[in-house]
C-alpha cells in the first residue's frame, strides 16, 4: 500500500456569527470533503430559480501550493435540485475573507435553509501553476479544432 502524503494544515478562524459552530469536519474517515454549514441568524428561503450567497462563519488560511474547492452536496442536488453556481468554487491560498457559498435552486420547490444546515463541502487539493509560453503554431492532433460534441454525444 502506498504511503499517505502528509496532510496540509489549514487554519480556521471562527467569526462571531458562528461562535457555536464546529469547525468544518469530515463526516466519515474516507470523506474527501469537509461539510460547510450555513452561518445565518434567521432561516433563509431559497426560492426555485433563485441564487443566494450563504455565509459559513469562518475565514481560513490554506497553505501555499493548495486550494480549497467548494463543491455541492450530492443530497441537496438529488433531493431538491440545489447546487452551486460556480462549482467548484476556488478559495486561493492568499484569500482571508469569510468563506461564502453561492447556491442556486434548480428545483421546482423552495428550500428552507436553517442555521447550521450543511450546505456544501470543502475539498483541499494541491495546485500546480503552469508556465505560459507563446508560440506561433501548435502541434497538430487527430482531433484538431473539433469542439463541443465532436467526439460523439454518448
Residue 99 lies in a domain: yes
Q: How far apart are CA 125 and CA 122, in angstroms?
A: 10
Residue 136 lies in a domain: no
- Residue 53: CATH number of its domain: 2.70.40.10
Residue 6 lies in a domain: no
Residue 22 lies in a domain: yes
What's the 3-state SS for 50-99? CEEEEECCEEEECCCCEEEEEECCHHHHHHHCEEECCCCEEECCCCCCCC
**pLDDT tens digits along 54-112:** 999 999 999 999 999 999 999 999 999 999 998 899 999 999 999 999 999 999 999 99
State the total domains in the chain: 1
- Single pTM value for the model: 0.86
Amino acid at each position: 500500500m502506498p504511503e499517505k502524503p502528509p496532510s496540509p494544515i489549514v487554519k480556521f478562524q471562527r467569526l462571531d456569527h458562528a461562535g457555536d459552530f464546529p469547525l468544518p469536519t469530515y463526516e466519515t474517515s474516507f470523506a474527501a470533503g469537509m461539510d460547510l454549514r450555513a452561518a445565518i441568524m434567521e432561516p433563509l428561503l431559497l426560492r426555485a430559480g433563485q441564487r443566494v450567497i450563504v455565509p459559513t462563519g469562518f475565514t481560513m488560511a490554506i497553505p501555499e501550493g493548495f486550494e480549497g474547492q467548494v463543491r455541492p452536496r450530492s443530497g441537496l442536488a438529488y433531493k431538491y435540485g440545489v447546487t452551486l453556481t460556480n462549482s467548484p468554487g476556488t478559495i486561493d491560498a492568499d484569500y482571508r475573507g469569510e468563506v461564502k457559498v453561492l447556491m442556486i435552486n434548480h428545483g421546482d420547490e423552495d428550500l428552507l435553509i436553517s442555521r447550521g444546515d450543511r450546505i456544501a463541502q470543502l475539498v483541499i487539493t494541491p495546485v500546480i501553476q503552469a508556465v505560459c509560453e507563446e508560440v506561433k503554431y501548435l502541434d497538430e492532433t487527430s482531433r484538431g479544432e473539433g469542439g463541443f460534441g465532436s467526439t460523439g454525444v454518448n
